[in-house]
Amino acid sequence: MKIITIVGARPQFIKAAALSREIAKHNNIEEIIIHTGQHFDDNMSDVFFREMEIPEPKYNLDINSISHGAMTGRMLERIEGILIKEEPDILLVYGDTNSTIAGALAAKKMHIKVAHVEAGLRSFNMEMPEEVNRILTDRISDFLFCPTTTAINNLDKEGYNNIDCKIFNSGDVMQDAANFYAEKSSERAKVFKELDFDKFILCTFHRAENTDDNIRLIEIIESLNEINKEIQVVLPLHPRTKTKIEDLGIKLEVKIIDPVGYFDMIELLKNCSLVITDSGGLQKEAFFFKKNCVTMRDQTEWVELLDHKVNVLVGAEKVKILQGVLDMLEKESDFSVNLYGNGNACENIINKLVELECQ
């Protein structure tokens, strides 16, 4: 069996690292990785391949820094050419990026089976590019690997039982990655060792809904500056967010560091007192490392974190952000519940693909 894996953004590198390690255990599976180049900065891309020992991509498309339509179109064209050349049995995509939908579309039009890892997630906000990407990818995928029962239920409600596809609750591959790399992070982390804080909050934000709206961006910056007066905020700053802040001309009075690799992110998560983010993946990673989370979004795909009160949505309003941070810093949460599987998601996915292809 030949599998082509599409990656392009940081969360996908982490997921691919876990799943590629499982694929390597099967002598009868050949994996070819296509890196679209959606994240191209060394700290956002190359470092993950080096640190996490991901097989080197056979193809790097270097498509980035252009509009959604142009990016998706160019990826679609380039991926199609590779599929014609390689003739894979399955195309494997992760999550909800432009790389995801471009890969799925290219394969589906060539009658190549599509496997979508992290299927069934919904924010119910169609203004999010990610929501459009994930819905369309689900609809044209042959194998839908869902990380949670909530994701399964979402597909049930949308009538997927009447669609020619196979749906599985595989567990979350991010849980597999966190379990595996947590044992290595203290030795391999570099940036974290240079920080000298007894107590700090880890913060990230990069979503267009926050960075492209000046009102939301100003509220977030003012909130972080206020929080930083009481407890140190450490912010690995996404290049896109940095540019937006500079254009706005507002000073961000927190500890700003460059984007970090996965091992440093794990160490930051292990040692922080709280997470503030608008990232989807980091909400889960906070849970994996037993940290409460304040999410600067109006919706989240990971509703089970809200249900178990380890995460709170605060949007981008200063009052809500400050109150959310105050509440969650003081809250003692129960992280013993098993929300994302038992750490065998990758094994479940590959075994199922082998079984299906042998039928």
Tens of pLDDT, residues 283-295: 999 999 999 999 9
What is this structure's pTM? 0.87
CB-based contacts of 72, cutoff 8 Å, min separation 6: 98, 101, 102
Q: Please tell me the predicted confidence (pLDDT) of residue 45.
A: 53
- Shared domain for 135 and 111, answered yes or no, is yes
Q: How far apart are CA 246 and CA 320, in angstroms?
A: 25
Q: What DSSP character marks residue 310?
A: S
- Shared domain for 191 and 305, answered yes or no, is yes
Is residue 41 over pLDDT 70?
no
Structural domain includes residue 293:
yes
- Shared domain for 292 and 347, answered yes or no, is no
Q: Residue 109 is encoded by which pair of tokens?
A: 């039009």
- Shared domain for 27 and 126, answered yes or no, is yes
Task: Starting at the earlier edge strand, list the strands of the sheet with 200-204.
Answer: 255-257, 232-236, 200-204, 274-277, 293-295, 311-313
Structural domain includes residue 285:
yes
Domain membership of residue 257 as a residue range: 185-330
Residue 168 one-letter amino acid: F
Structural domain includes residue 265:
yes
Q: Residue 351 is encoded by which pair of tokens?
A: 């075994």
- Shared domain for 147 and 202, answered yes or no, is no
Structural domain includes residue 305:
yes
- Shared domain for 155 and 240, answered yes or no, is no
Nearest of 245, 207, 201 to residue 224 by alpha carbon: 201
- Shared domain for 56 and 166, answered yes or no, is yes
Q: Is 206 a catalytic residue?
A: yes
Q: Please tell me the predicted confidence (pLDDT) of residue 349.
A: 98
pLDDT tens-place string over residues 56-100: 899 999 998 889 999 999 999 999 999 999 999 999 999 999 999
Task: Starting at the earlier edge strand, list the strands of the sheet with 90-94.
Answer: 59-60, 30-35, 2-7, 90-94, 113-117, 143-146, 166-169
Specify the residue for token string 């949460």: 333
- Shared domain for 163 and 239, answered yes or no, is no
What are the residue ranges of helices labelled H in the chain?
A: 10-23, 46-52, 68-86, 98-109, 129-140, 149-157, 173-182, 185-188, 191-194, 208-211, 214-228, 239-248, 262-271, 280-288, 303-307, 318-330, 345-358
- Shared domain for 238 and 209, answered yes or no, is yes
Q: How far apart are CA 174 and CA 184, in angstroms?
A: 16
pLDDT tens-place string over residues 158-203: 999 999 999 999 999 999 999 999 989 998 888 888 888 889 999 9
Q: What is the per-residue burial (b if ≥16 Cβ within 10 Å, else e) of 156-169?
A: eeeebeeeebebbb
Q: Residue 171 is encoded by which pair of tokens?
A: 């567990």
- Shared domain for 304 and 352, answered yes or no, is no
Structural domain includes residue 179:
no
Structural domain includes residue 7:
yes
Average pLDDT, the chain: 93
Q: Are 344 and 171 within 8 A, CB to CB? A: yes
- Shared domain for 127 and 201, answered yes or no, is no
Q: How many domains does the chain have?
A: 2
Q: Please tell me the predicted confidence (pLDDT) of residue 239.
A: 81
- CATH number of the domain where residue 72 is located: 3.40.50.2000
Q: How far apart are CA 231 and CA 217, in angstroms?
A: 21
Structural domain includes residue 177:
no
Structural domain includes residue 178:
no
**Active-site option among 68, 206, 238, 308:** 206
- Shared domain for 148 and 271, answered yes or no, is no
